[in-house]
Structure 1
Amino acid sequence: MSDPLNPEQLRSLTPLNVLSEQQWRELRSQLVPRPLLAGQLLFRHGDRAGLTYYLLAGELLMQTPDGQQQRLVAGSEASCHPLSPGLPRLHEVRAATDASLLVVDTATLDRLLTWRLAYQDLLLELGHNHADVEWLERLLQNPVFTKVPPSNVRSMLERLQRIELAAGTTLLREGESGDCCYFLESGRVEVIRGAGSEQQVLAELEVGACFGEEALLADRPRNATVTLIEDGVVLRLARQDFFSLLKAPVVDDVALGEAARLLAAGAQWLDVRLQEEYEQAHALESLHMPLQLLRLKARLLDKARTYLCYCASGKRSASAVFLLAQLGFNAYALRNGLDALPAVQRDALLCESGSGYLARSGGHTERSR
């Protein structure tokens, strides 16, 4: 069996290249190249499998239902993007030569991508305010935060109670009921299970670690005792806050037909994907403003105008609409994203070279090709 791809091999693949190394580790079992023999079919036109494909080596033949063919060569710019993205597939794809592919679960990739871009927005803002971004990034890498909808992260950070404690302080006791969880900001803590001669040290936790969340999620007594072994600082999150922040907020969304009515009344498409995704294909006259930069560039938007946000699955656009609503804008998400549209509608909406607008630094927008 082949080894998983390393980070250097992933840096050219959009949008995999924006994920963190910890997120790549979460995908590790999927980052193993798969062979495809010459002449072998990868998928047919209309295929709806929720998988994202990248060509790593060799050549593929892509054919549309009307017989138009395109040859995709590994190492080309086109091969750095997902193969025939969107569902249902618009091509039949076969291996023209022996080939190697990367196959990733689309839902998992989209979840990780939405999370990464949403908290990048937060880190950028806090960095401008001279906050300790490096420590906060380590905190946000904690798996616990992946259970929190991206739009709730800011609220979660606001609800954390900062507590300074001395070495020897016991924060959690095995067998007690759980009313909170903690994040370690500084210092060291020791996790111990059992008592007396049966006592066993399970771990020493690093800065950014979360502890106590298992008792909350499973609604069971604490399964270990946690004690500071040097002076430190923890951030406490109460049980009720923990569960309220796990709930995804409701955002306004519209079907394509309703979006067309709003566009006729003066609304504008807002593309919240990465620039590389936008350049592959975008809606005519759309404004590109990626999710991770949305808060910083929102000043370029007009509060008298309605914005229609779109992305592949609807997850990033939902986060964008939630953010824009907080900032006082009128916005809707395209329901379930581009991938939910029938192929004919998606083709009519997106174009490879139609003009749009790019949000640039310095407070202005410019036309795109």
Structure 2
Amino acid sequence: MNRPLLPAQLSSLIPLNALSSRRLQTLRDQLIPRPLLAGEPLFKDADSASSYFLLAGALLLRAPDGAPQRLVAGSPESCHAFSAGPRFNEAWALEDSSVLVVDSCRLDRLLSWQQANADLLLELATNGELTDWLEDLLENPLFAKVPTENVRTMLSRLQPMDLPSGYVLLREGEAGDCCYFLKSGRAEVIVGSDSDQQVVAELDVGACFGEEALLSERPRNATVTLIEDARVLRLARQDFVTLLRAPVVDELDFEHAKQLIGEGAQWLDVRFLDEYQRGHAAQALNMPLHLLRLKSRLLKPDRTYLCYCDSGKRSASAVFLLTQLGFTTFALRDGLDALPADTYAGLISEKGCGYLARSGGRTEVSG
């Protein structure tokens, strides 16, 4: 099975090599080499929606006026992206070849974001601020969707706190009025109480946590305890909603969701198990929000996931969390409650235990 190329394998491809490893992760579904047989067209009278990189073999590129150009893998010219458009309107394989096909808009957006934030980091460093923690924070895929000006404003709103190891920052069941970032130190995320406690995650420098309660407007669903002395940065609810939630949580309507499911996306039901068993979408995986961080390791990194719940608030939390982890994911706008009765009945059509995610992204019917 073809696997995405590693950053080291992309080091000579311009401008892909300008992206950090984490930024490349957001493109991993497009970093799988595509084979072309001799004589096969790469594009013909196509638009410029894609950027192409020649990895192996040779191509014949033809300009709109008919002028040909030969492109050979390994040459200086082959290190650069090319696209269909004013320069070339046809490309054919002269021999068995291999290419990468990358969405031009996504690539441009990532490049623009990285360059803009590089300026911000330089500005802060020039003012004498240590920015290692911020670089870690900005490497989080979550911030690929946050405008630089929002980041700049967020930094001015953060309230720093120096706290000892063992300090409990969040308690499961309490109301949430803020989220936090780790500037230094580590923390662990625990669900349950007493003998039923379970550590579901460990947080390092640059982590964002506590946002689930702000997104869902429900009590904290986990306890977060520092396991090292730490500097923690607090962001108030309204600043979080305005500066982070608005640009990060992608929502779609049911018709768009159906289209993505037809193209291979996967439903994630982020409600509790008993809600799921009462009725769920066909082949939907049950990923309760309070277990999502733990269970996300079972999801396929190159698949699109569509989250739903009753009101849309839990699914917004799920999208925010999964975006931090680098997944492509959307929330069903306003949740199941907003669907007409016939649409709801058609979507929530299966009852019982349903489906389980297994390692490697496999799905199986539960017993």
| Shorter-chain TM-score tier | 0.5 to 0.7
- In structure 2, the partner of 1:51 is 50
In structure 2, relative to structure 1, the CA distance for the partners of 1:198 and 1:143 (3 Å cut) is same
- In structure 1, the partner of 2:186 is 188
- In structure 2, the partner of 1:131 is 129
- In structure 2, the partner of 1:70 is 69
CA distance in 2, matches of 1:36, 1:20: 28
Using the TM superposition, give the Cα deviation of residue 247 of structure 1 relative to its aligned residue in structure 2, in angstroms.
Answer: 8.2
Is 1:3 the counterpart of 2:34? The answer is no
CA deviation string 1:144-174 (max 9, x = no partner) = 3233112322111111110111222221122
- In structure 1, the partner of 2:173 is 175
- In structure 2, the partner of 1:24 is 24
In structure 2, relative to structure 1, the CA distance for the partners of 1:209 and 1:247 (3 Å cut) is closer
- In structure 1, the partner of 2:147 is 149
SS in structure 1 of the partner of residue 118 of structure 2: helix
Using the TM superposition, give the Cα deviation of residue 39 of structure 1 relative to its aligned residue in structure 2, in angstroms.
Answer: 0.6
CA contact (8 A) 2:23 2:141 kept: no
- In structure 2, the partner of 1:96 is 94
One-letter amino acid of the structure 2 residue matched with residue 18 of structure 1: A
Using the TM superposition, give the Cα deviation of residue 108 of structure 1 relative to its aligned residue in structure 2, in angstroms.
Answer: 2.5
The 5 A counterparts of 1:220-235 are 220-235=218-233
Using the TM superposition, give the Cα deviation of residue 243 of structure 1 relative to its aligned residue in structure 2, in angstroms.
Answer: 2.0
CA contact (8 A) 2:26 2:141 kept: no
CA distance in 2, matches of 1:214, 1:90: 48
CA distance in 1, matches of 2:215, 2:109: 20
CA contact (8 A) 2:51 2:102 kept: yes
Using the TM superposition, give the Cα deviation of residue 89 of structure 1 relative to its aligned residue in structure 2, in angstroms.
Answer: 7.5
CA contact (8 A) 2:48 2:83 kept: no
- In structure 2, the partner of 1:236 is 234
CA deviation string 1:89-131 (max 9, x = no partner) = 7411111111100112223222222221111011112222332
Q: In structure 2, list runs of 5 or more residues that go unmatched.
A: 248-367
The 5 A counterparts of 1:207-218 are 207-218=205-216
Using the TM superposition, give the Cα deviation of residue 72 of structure 1 relative to its aligned residue in structure 2, in angstroms.
Answer: 1.0
CA contact (8 A) 1:114 1:150 kept: no
CA distance in 2, matches of 1:164, 1:39: 64
CA contact (8 A) 1:190 1:203 kept: yes
CA distance in 2, matches of 1:222, 1:31: 38
One-letter amino acid of the structure 1 residue matched with residue 72 of structure 2: V
CA contact (8 A) 2:51 2:82 kept: yes
- In structure 1, the partner of 2:323 is none
One-letter amino acid of the structure 2 residue matched with residue 173 of structure 1: R
Using the TM superposition, give the Cα deviation of residue 69 of structure 1 relative to its aligned residue in structure 2, in angstroms.
Answer: 0.9
Using the TM superposition, give the Cα deviation of residue 202 of structure 1 relative to its aligned residue in structure 2, in angstroms.
Answer: 0.8
In structure 2, relative to structure 1, the CA distance for the partners of 1:233 and 1:6 (3 Å cut) is same
Using the TM superposition, give the Cα deviation of residue 28 of structure 1 relative to its aligned residue in structure 2, in angstroms.
Answer: 2.3
RMSD between aligned residues? 2.2
- In structure 1, the partner of 2:116 is 118
Using the TM superposition, give the Cα deviation of residue 49 of structure 1 relative to its aligned residue in structure 2, in angstroms.
Answer: 6.3
CA distance in 1, matches of 2:175, 2:107: 35
In structure 2, relative to structure 1, the CA distance for the partners of 1:57 and 1:243 (3 Å cut) is same
SS in structure 2 of the partner of residue 204 of structure 1: strand
One-letter amino acid of the structure 2 residue matched with residue 36 of structure 1: L
SS in structure 2 of the partner of residue 13 of structure 1: coil
- In structure 2, the partner of 1:346 is none
CA contact (8 A) 2:63 2:87 kept: no
Alignment: residue pair count: 247
- In structure 2, the partner of 1:81 is 80
